[in-house]
Every structure is written in structure tokens, then in C-alpha cells.
Structure 1
Amino acid sequence: MTFSGDFTYESRPGRVVLRPGAAVSATPGEAEHLGLSRLLVVCGRRGEAVARAVADALGDRCAGLHAEARMHVPVEDADRAVAAARAAGADGVVAVGGGSSIGLCKAIALHTGLPLIAVPSTYSGSEMTPVWGLTENGAKRTGRDPKVQPRSVVYDPELTLSLPVPLTVTSGVNALAHAVEALYAPDTSPLIALMAEEGVRAMTGALPELAADPGDVEARGQALYAAWLCGSCLGATTMGLHHKLCHVLGGTFGLPHAETHTVVLPYALAHNSPAIPDALTVLGRALGTDDPAQALWELAGRLGAPRSLAELGFKEGDVAKAAAQVTGQPYANPRPVTADGVRAVLAAAYEGRPPSVPDR
């Protein structure tokens, strides 16, 4: 990426612990470091057993367990979680699990100001951002607020060992999407380029190893390291067309989060490619290719991930409706966000055909 002497980069305070076994061994110490004595542990149904182990490790510092996190954080779930935190007299919250658990804790933090400790079990990267999201009446809205960014993040490679290979892959590509889009955000910087390149290189190196050997703890740690870098890129920059597409497809049409990011990424990148030469140079180095969009599409295919929106249950007849929502309130993007352009991206993603770079 060409150096620019004109940029702004804001870093946010926070602690990161990364080591095997840290979910149980380090979380109580992080609570003590933050001076927290009544923590509500939050998780989804699938991760309840691990969350109970973290709750047990917290001992008297645990004020309760709330196992109701769901994808895209429905506003009614957020209201119940806020009420649960207040009823427990919590002075902080601990998110154990993936983006859904972290997102629900962010909703609690947004409405109460309670500090958050994140113990991620996927590679979503949400734990490194001040971005929150809520879904109401079939529409997902997002915002930024520093109080929702976790004060401490505990990365435990062993916690991700139970993550099924399909979700390992799509969660990892979800993280890649954060780094890719950050490279061409209007508020990108040379520091973002460094983190994004290393994050992409580390994640695309780890995922094939994990597909071949899901029990590889070292590769699990590398994937968490990559998620940390990719999530940090998202946290410091403005989201664009890729994330807007995924927010609409998830919030309005109920498509699964990580899988949707996996399908959409190559097509959004190909669409923007004519306007982002510097970003393509960085991605080309990280991926070892002169066609990053094609390389990401091929990676998903090699690892058995979905490559079409049709596979996720999206209907071809909904392309126009989704495009209208995306263009109605577009995010910042290097190419103009037009109805024709968005429909073309969605149509290609629906079919799952190889991504093609449009003319300028």
C-alpha cells in the first residue's frame, strides 16, 4: 500500500490474554483486574456448558448465567438481557461464545454502561470492535459506541476445539472480511494495512490446517491471533458495501451470519476491485495471488464452505428487495452504491458463480 502522510488512527484501551486454558484460568484474574465482583455470564444455548465452566471459575464473582444469545441480536432479546443484568445487580458482563453472545453483551453495555469481558469461541472478531447491532422489525441497525468495546479479551485456543469444521471455516472467512474491507475504508491507514495483511496471511494459513486437523491447538491459536488482527481492523475503520449487504441479508432475510460473510466476500471485493488498487496489492501479497477475489472464492470451495446465497436459503425473487434496502441507506464505499451494481453483486452471489471484476 502506498504510504499516505495524511491519516488518523485511534486505538482503544483494552487487554488481551491468549493462551490455552485461558477461559477458565485467566477470566477470574481479568475480573479482579477490572475490579468487578458481580458478573453476569452470557452465552447461547450451544455454548452453555463452556459458559458454566467459566461461571464456576468465577466463583463468588458470578452473579448468574444468561443463556439466551441468538444471531443478529433481536431487540427483544436485548431487553431481556438488560433486565437480567439489572435484576442480578451485575457490575459487569462476561460474553462466552461467538458473535451472538458478544453482541448481546454489547447491547447490555450500550444500555447500562457495564464493562464487558469477552471470551470468544469463534473467529468473528466482534470482541475487538466498538460496533453494536440490533435487529428490530426485520431490519438490522448498527452503531458505534466506545462503551460496548470489551475491556478485556480472553482468547483460549482450547475453547475453539469443539467448533465444527464448517463453522471454523466460515467464522474464519468472516474475520477475513473485516480485514479486506478495512483496507479500502475511507479512514484506513498504513497501520490498518499492516494488521490486515498479517491477519489475512495468518487466517488463510490456519484454516486449511484446521480443516485437515480440527484438533490442532497451535493452528487454533493462530486463527484467534488472526481474528484479533482482523477484528481490530474493523474496529478502527468504517464499514462498506460488504458489511451492508451482510447486515441486510442477516437482519431482514435471516441468513446465518458467518456463512453469509463467506459467500458475499469475493463478490463485494470483485465489485470494488477497479477502485482499490492499493488494497489489492496488499491482499495479493497476503494471499500470494494477482486475483484476490478469485482466490478467496476458491479457498471457500476447497474448504467445503458454501459459495452461493441459494445454499443459505436466499430466494432469487428477493434480490430486488435486498438491493433496495442496501441502496436506501448505503455505507461508505469506494465505488458508488447503485441499484444496478448491488443487484449484480447479489445475483452473482445467489448463483455462486466465479466472481468477475467489472469494468470501471
Structure 2
Amino acid sequence: MPLDPFVHDTLGQRVILEAGGAAKHLAAEVSRLGADRVMLIAAEAESHLADRVTAGLPVALRWTEVAQHVPVELAERAREAAASAAVDLLVAVGGGSTVGLAKAIALTARVPIVAVPTTYAGSEATAVWGLTEGREKTTGTHPSVLPVTVVYDATLTVSLPVGLSVASGFNALAHCVDSMWAPGSDPINRALAVEGIRVFASGLPKVVADPAGLEGRDECLYGAYLSAVSFASAGSGLHHKICHVLGGAYRLPHAETHAIVLPHVLALNAPAVPDRGRRIAEAFGGGEPLAALERLRAAVAAPRALKDVGFDEAAVGEAAARILPGVPPSNPAPVDRRVLETLLRAAWAGDTPGGAA
């Protein structure tokens, strides 16, 4: 059977992966880019990691205020500071919130970014930016926010607690699964997504079993890149539309929310596209798609309930109404407000969708 026609855009970016090599590679990139006034963005919790990899760099401004979902007020303060310091390169050492703030600055300042991830969020490999004002999260894409270089170093993720590692990994898995049927899904990003699922299914149990080991951490960083590249071209599907509302309107923690919502969207969509569901299941190790995901969720004790991360069941109706306008028309399964309310209520309670074991 011939392939359906598609157009696929590949983002240009340098990607470096070497355990223990971040300081060396970061210094080389700063030199290659000709930067002499670096803005270092790293939250206080990552300050020790930032110190390790930026010693000797021409840091003109160090910024430590970082928040999830990048509030507009924070972005404006950071932009003003960057302009006052006349920085010519942004170096972001941290997770998705840190990289997200760098993107918010680059969006207006047109200053390049070098990202040094310490989680598996994947923001470093996309041209997607997000800002939250009040209870509304706005996202968009622009080439100026895509980091020019990503430096992956598994030793920088060893201090990430196991629980956060799992949640972050499931956030990346959600990028992969959503890419299987997002509006821009095509054979290329689906291939990347399937490989990302396979890598996380292998790597996350290793991280849980040996948190200080580098094999699982290396795999998860590789998986994070695959997940982000697939998502970057496939775009936001139903899963991400749901999580953007939950994060922006209700200030729920980003990674945990993605981890909790993932199986519920998979249960809804996979039966409508059985060939893609089969590929997802095979990447997880075989069986039915949801059961395969559930095996991994149980093995690594992934987050299960929105009630555990601060979501109020009384807000289910309001949340569904907020989500509905953003549901992609191309979503494989029909979605209306009732479907969304059922999904959100099950995710709030931590129910296993469809009774999968």
C-alpha cells in the first residue's frame, strides 16, 4: 500500500551526547559561536550542576528565578535583565522550565540558546515556546527559540530523584505517543516516536533499579531527544491540549500531569487507529497498547492520579470546557465535552482506563 502524501520539516540543530563531557563541549560551543557575554539560566536547585559545567565561561549575567509554565511577568523581568546586560548567548542548565524561560527571552531578543538538560523534558529539541498569563497558557512555534546546540550529559541527571526521573520520562513518552496521531503526524516522526517509546521502556526501569548508573540515564536522554524531535514536527495532539490547560489554568506540575493523563488518551485513541496502537504496544514490549503501558507504569511506580497533584474534582467540568475548543479535528477518536469529563474524572481518581492490568 502506498504511503499517504506528507510534508516533513526537519529542524537544524547540533546534538552532543557524552557522559561527563558537558563542560568540555559547552566551552567548545561558546567558543564556536563567538559569544563573550553569556546569560546563564539555572534554578537554585541546579546551581551546583551549572557551576560544574560553566567554570571559565564568560558569564555576564546569572539568572536563578525559574518557574513552571513560564509566567509572563517572569519572562518580562528576564528579558529586561538580558537586554541590560547585552548578552549574546543564553546557556540554560536545567529542565523544561529553565529551557522554557530561555526560549521566552530568545523569542524577543533573538539571542541563541545552548541547552544543557538535566531532565527528560525534551523542550531543548523543539521550536515550541509557552507562556502563562493568569490562567491561560499560550504556546507557539518560532525558529528563534530552537536551541542551536543541545549538550546531553548523563552525569548531570544522576541527582534527579527517581520519582522525578520517572515523571519526566513519562512526560517524554507522552510526546512520543501523542506524535502517533497529532495533526502533523507522518511516517518519519512516527518512526522516531516508536524508537523513543522503545528506549524509555528499556531505560526507565534501569534508572529505577540503579539511580546512580549511567546506562539507563544515557538511554533516557537519547529517548528525550527522540521524543522531542517527533513532537516538534507532529505538533500538539489531544494529550498536549489537555495538559496545557491543566498546567496553565490549575498550575499542576508539568511532568506528573503528563504522566497521569497519558494512559487515558492512549485508551481513547489507540482503538481508533489499531495499526499505530500495535506499533506502540510492540515498542513497549508487546501485548495490547494500554496493557503494555500499564506494565511499565507499575514497574516504575509512575504517578497515577490528578487528585495527588492538586487537581480538584469539582473543576472537571470547567476544565473540559476549556480543553474542548483546542481538540484537534483530526483526533482519531470523537471527542466532546462528555468524553473529556469522563477522561478527566478517571485521571483525577487514578482509575486504570478500561480495566487494563
Q: TM-score of the superposition, structure 1-length normalised?
A: 0.95
Q: Residue 43 of structure 1 corresponds to which residue in structure 2?
A: 42
State the one-letter code of the partner of 1:281: R
Q: Residue 356 of structure 1 corresponds to which residue in structure 2?
A: 354
1:186 Cα deviation (Å)?
A: 2.7
Moved more, 29-38 or 310-319: 29-38
State the one-letter code of the partner of 2:312: K
Does 1:296 pair with 2:293? yes
1:274 Cα deviation (Å)?
A: 2.7
Does 1:260 pair with 2:271? no
Which of 119, 126, 130 is the aligned partner of 1:129? 126
Q: Residue 156 of structure 1 corresponds to which residue in structure 2?
A: 153
| Secondary structure of 2:305's aligned partner | coil
The answer as to whether partners of 2:126 and 2:228 remain within 8 angstroms in 1 is: yes
Q: Residue 23 of structure 2 corresponds to which residue in structure 1?
A: 24
Matches for 1:332-343 after TM superposition, within 5 Å: 332=329, 333-343=331-341
The answer as to whether partners of 1:43 and 1:95 remain within 8 angstroms in 2 is: yes
Q: Residue 77 of structure 1 corresponds to which residue in structure 2?
A: 74
Q: Residue 53 of structure 1 corresponds to which residue in structure 2?
A: 52
1:23 Cα deviation (Å)?
A: 2.2
1:35 Cα deviation (Å)?
A: 2.3
| Secondary structure of 2:132's aligned partner | strand
The alpha-carbon distance between structure 1 residues 3 and 223, as it changes in their structure 2 partners (threshold 3 A), is farther
1:293 Cα deviation (Å)?
A: 2.2
The answer as to whether partners of 2:267 and 2:353 remain within 8 angstroms in 1 is: yes
Moved more, 302-311 or 316-325: 302-311
Which of 88, 111, 114 is the aligned partner of 1:114? 111
1:3 Cα deviation (Å)?
A: 6.0
Q: Residue 188 of structure 1 corresponds to which residue in structure 2?
A: 185
| Secondary structure of 2:45's aligned partner | coil
Per-residue CA shift, 1:273-306, capped at 9, x if unaligned?
2322232121021012332223223422331222
1:5 Cα deviation (Å)?
A: 4.4
The answer as to whether partners of 1:263 and 1:308 remain within 8 angstroms in 2 is: yes
| Secondary structure of 1:95's aligned partner | strand
| Secondary structure of 1:12's aligned partner | coil
| Secondary structure of 1:26's aligned partner | helix
State the one-letter code of the partner of 1:164: P
Q: Give distance in 2, aligned partners of 1:4 and 1:345.
A: 33
Let me know the Cα RMSD of the aligned residues. Answer: 1.6
Q: Residue 273 of structure 1 corresponds to which residue in structure 2?
A: 270
1:82 Cα deviation (Å)?
A: 0.6
Q: TM-score of the superposition, structure 2-length normalised?
A: 0.96
The alpha-carbon distance between structure 1 residues 342 and 72, as it changes in their structure 2 partners (threshold 3 A), is same
Q: Give distance in 2, aligned partners of 1:23 and 1:136.
A: 34
State the one-letter code of the partner of 2:32: H
The answer as to whether partners of 2:270 and 2:289 remain within 8 angstroms in 1 is: no
Moved more, 291-300 or 73-82: 291-300
Per-residue CA shift, 1:249-289, capped at 9, x if unaligned?
11111111100000000001111123222321210210123
Q: Residue 6 of structure 1 corresponds to which residue in structure 2?
A: 5
Identify unmatched segments of 5+ residues in structure 1.
Answer: none
Per-residue CA shift, 1:52-105, capped at 9, x if unaligned?
3333242xx221210111111011110111111111110110110000000000
Same amino acid, percent of matched pairs: 44
Q: Give distance in 2, aligned partners of 1:305 and 1:3.
A: 39
| Secondary structure of 1:289's aligned partner | coil
State the one-letter code of the partner of 2:120: Y
Q: Give distance in 2, aligned partners of 1:74 and 1:65.
A: 19
The answer as to whether partners of 2:42 and 2:93 remain within 8 angstroms in 1 is: yes
Moved more, 19-28 or 64-73: 19-28
Identify unmatched segments of 5+ residues in structure 2.
Answer: none
State the one-letter code of the partner of 1:24: A
Which of 302, 319, 324 is the aligned partner of 1:322? 319
State the one-letter code of the partner of 1:336: P
Q: Give distance in 2, aligned partners of 1:300 and 1:256.
A: 18
User: How many residues are matched?
Assistant: 355
| Secondary structure of 1:10's aligned partner | coil
Q: Give distance in 2, aligned partners of 1:163 and 1:126.
A: 17
Q: Residue 168 of structure 2 corresponds to which residue in structure 1?
A: 171
Which of 299, 308, 314 is the aligned partner of 2:305? 308
| Secondary structure of 1:47's aligned partner | helix
State the one-letter code of the partner of 1:42: I
| Secondary structure of 1:305's aligned partner | coil
Q: Give distance in 1, aligned partners of 2:326 and 2:183.
A: 17
Q: Residue 97 of structure 1 corresponds to which residue in structure 2?
A: 94
Q: Give distance in 1, aligned partners of 2:154 and 2:202.
A: 16
Which of 242, 266, 278 is the aligned partner of 1:245? 242
Moved more, 49-58 or 21-30: 49-58
